[in-house]
Every structure is written in C-alpha cells, then in structure tokens.
Amino acid sequence: MTDTPRITVTRTAHRLVPDPQRVLAKPYYPGEEIALGGDTRGGLLFDRVLAIPETRVAGLLAEVMARFCDRHDDFEGLLLRHFELVAHRFSSQPAMSTARQLLIGAYFTHEYSVEGAALFNPSIVWAPDQNHVAAGHRRFVMSMRAVGEGHISSIEFRSGIIDPAGDVAFDPIDRRLHAGRRAAPEWYDKQLFEGKLAELGAANEISASVLARLPDRFTPNDLDEALTWLEQHGPPHAIRYETAKVIRVLAASSYMTSFAPPSTLAERVIFPAGPHETRGMEDARFVRFCADDGTSRYYATYTAFDGFEIIPQLIETYDFRVFSISTLHGSAAHNKGMALFPRAIGGQYVMLSRKDRENLWLARSNDVRHWADATELRGPVEPWELLQIGNCGSPIETEAGWLVLTHGVGAMRRYCIGALLLDLDDPRRVLGSLAEPLLEPDDTEREGYVPNVLYTCGGIVHGDRLVMPYGFSDGGIRIATMSLSELLAALR
C-alpha cells in the first residue's frame, strides 16, 4: 500500500467578514393588514404625510437628506422612484410639491444591511476585461452570498488580481451599494414555459387555452393579452384564479437586472426580485462558459427560496453589468447544488447536481435551461461525507481530467471540502477521489452563524496554483491555495 501524495494547503491572510455598513436603500411598505376604518397601514401612512403642513415639509425633508444623502448615490432620484411605486395605489392624490413627493418616498424607503448577518460561499472566475493587467497577472471576479435581516440572501461581488505566484490582491471597495434596475425579459420560450407549468402542477385545460394563443417565442405583452382573454372568455374567477396565478408567477421568475455603467462591480448587488426568491438567492456558482465557436459568456446556477420551496435558477451575463435571470426546467433540475461544466462535451451541455439531496449526479442537455437526463455519479463513501456529498462549484478542466471540488457532511453536521477527478471525454467515469478532506474547519473557522462548515462555490487555476475562496461557518470568507500538480497526483 502506497501513501497518498502530500497536498500542502496554504490559508492566506485574507479574511472577509460581514460589514453592516454596506446598505441598500430599498422600497418599504408597511404590512397589508387592515387597520381601523378599513384602510391599510400603507394608505394611512400616505394620508398622514399628506396632512403635514407645507410649511414643515421642507424642514423635515432637509433632516432626511442630512442623515442619508451621503450614504446613497442619486438619493433624490431614488426617493422619487419609491414615491412613484406607491403613489398609484391611492387614487385621489392632490397636486403636491416635489419636496412632499420626496418626503413620501422617504417614508416608503428603508436601509437594508445586505450582509448584516453573514457573508460566505464565494465562487471565482476570470474577469471579462483583462486589459491593462501586467504580464502573468490576471483579473478575477468573485461572487459571494450575503445574508441580511430576515435571513434574505443576495449576491455581491468583489474583484482583484492574482499574480504569477498565485497571490491574491483585492480591489478597494466603496460601502455604497446599488440594487440595479429590474425589467421583464424580451421573450419566453413556449416549450420551456409549458414544461415548467407541468412541473408546477398547472398543466390543465385553463393553461392550455392560454398557451394556445401564444407563439413559440412570446413576449410579456403577448402573455398579458392571453391572460386578459382568459379573464374575459375563460371560466369563472374562482376556477381560473390559481392557474392564472401560477402562470404569472412563472413569468415573473424570469427577468433582467442591469446596473448603470458608473457603478463599480463591488457596488452591485443582485437582490431577490422574482416571486420564487422572496427569501433569497443562495449559493451562486459562476462559470465562464466557452462555446465551440470561441465565444464566451458567464452562467451561474443558484437556488431560489421563497420560504417554502427551493427552485434552481440560472443567471447569464457577458459583462457583470446586465444579468438575465431565468428558471431551470426538467426532472433533473431539482434541489440545490447545480453546477455547469465550462464547455460542451460531446455537443451537449453538462451539469453536476444533487437532485436527491444526498448524492452527486451528472446531467446532460441540448438546452442550458432544460435538464431531464441525469445519472448518479457518486454517493457518500468516506466517514467525513456519510450524510451527503455535493459539488463545490463548476468543474475545472485540467490535462488529467475534470477537477471537481466537493463538499461532504459528516458527524455533527460538519462540512469539509474534498475533490474528485472525472474523465475529460466521459465525465461519468470517476478517475479518483480523496480519502481525506482537502480542507476542514480549523479552530479559527468553526464558530459562526452556522458552526463547523467550510464551503466553496468554485475555485480557479492560475499556473500550477489552485486558488479556492471558501466560506467558514457562514461567518466570513477566506482563501486557500495549493499546488494543482500535488492535488492531481493525490487524486490519481
């Protein structure tokens, strides 16, 4: 019996921890419960601000501006947008000054500390722009899961440079944050839409009548017209309501989020906007996907959570400024932990998943948004992973095979990071695995929001160095580096 080759893992001095001063100014609407007199709390608040004498409005607004203006870009524009979000709810509006509109906007706004509770589970990819970078250095983009009040998860970013030795340097950041502008997608794919309705239990005569009025690629306006037809000519409201609701929720789950060019990457936050992600966007696994024609784009799989169910979703971007978000479909697109391979294999997209919550699966598809064909790849084997095994990000292509970082959960629900090696041409073949964890929580990493957990959503290779940012106990982010050749030797 030969000894397993030694892997020297170096933890760097980097330690990113939650910063409660990084806040978004978000729309705020009081609870919708009905107050005395039959009005909502939001309606009562609107009326109370309208009742403030005009002589006091300017002074009250000045106080708000003095306290918050320096904390947010274009603060006046933001307050006016939030005013417009609520003004249409109240039909009888008297003419009012801009100052009063801004003040109303302030009452319907609150600051949200995006990472006030936790910051963890990073993934890392090479940045799309490598201009003005010194020889041997490369610029990276790192995504992170940030958790704030109410345990709501969003996606944040950092950027920086990795030098020839594999040392990491982060770019400076500003505490200001931007949530971006949300918009509906240009079109929907009818076949995928119909398939997801079936998965959601809404394939019936009512949905079929709506789909029959839609082209193969339909716009949001097309869908609105079909649903309007359903209201006018379909069955009674009580019968059609649930199906129409599911159709609208599914449509709203696909959207675009864009950021103004002046904002830096570290100022951008993809905050939950779809109905399936009201409680968060969890564990984004970004990958730079290279097509056969040489073009590239970035995909990220993440878990949408509404407080009751989880749904896997997909992010697509070319520049980390405009993000297209859509729902994944198919019998293999279930549960957490889907991670896309960085290129096609045998003319198909390939994805890792944990569809049964315990084992590692491999899925193939001709469409990046539809996943139906999956085979079990590997189950828990070692004592440190007996509860469950899953991927820790997209596979990394090496000459020896596909390097897959894994997570394993063992006794006391302790999470460790391991690794597998898959065949390049047939990734269903497992060429090797580590008998012991590659990285496990040390005494400085086991305390946090969720104790005894190490987890990453992806690493990157630069020369012979594997650079792996990882979250520790959901309390912060550290970086480990190691020799790729040592790791591959251990796997083989």
Residues 268-281: what's their mean pLDDT? 93
The span from the CA of 41 to the CA of 34, in Å, is 7
CA-nearest of 472, 468, 471, 462 to 481 is: 468
pLDDT at 293 over 50: yes
CA 175 to chain centre: 20
Q: Which single residue is written with the structure tokens 């830096």?
A: 264
pLDDT at 33 over 60: no
- CA separation (Å) from 374 to 304, 345, 422? 21, 15, 16
pLDDT at 203 over 60: yes
Residue pair 418/438 in contact (Cβ under 8 Å)? The answer is yes
The confidence score (pLDDT) of residue 2 equals 44
Q: Which CATH superfamily is domain 9-20+114-182+254-491 in?
A: Glycosyl hydrolase domain; family 43 (2.115.10.20)
Residue pair 281/272 in contact (Cβ under 8 Å)? The answer is yes
The span from the CA of 321 to the CA of 302, in Å, is 18
**DSSP labels, 239-265:** HHHHHHHHHHHHHHTSEEEE--TTS-G
CA-nearest of 163, 157, 160 to 114 is: 157
Residues 88-115: what's their mean pLDDT? 88
The phi-psi region of residue 26 (left if phi > 0; otherwise alpha if psi is between -120 and 50; otherwise beta) is beta
Assign 313 a pLDDT band (cuts: 50, 70, 90).
Answer: very high
- CA separation (Å) from 141 to 106, 165, 168, 316, 472? 34, 18, 12, 15, 20
> What is the pairing mode between strands 255-258 and 181-183?
antiparallel
Assign 1 a pLDDT band (cuts: 50, 70, 90).
Answer: very low
Kindly list the domain boundaries of the chain, sorted by start residue. 9-20+114-182+254-491, 24-113, 186-252
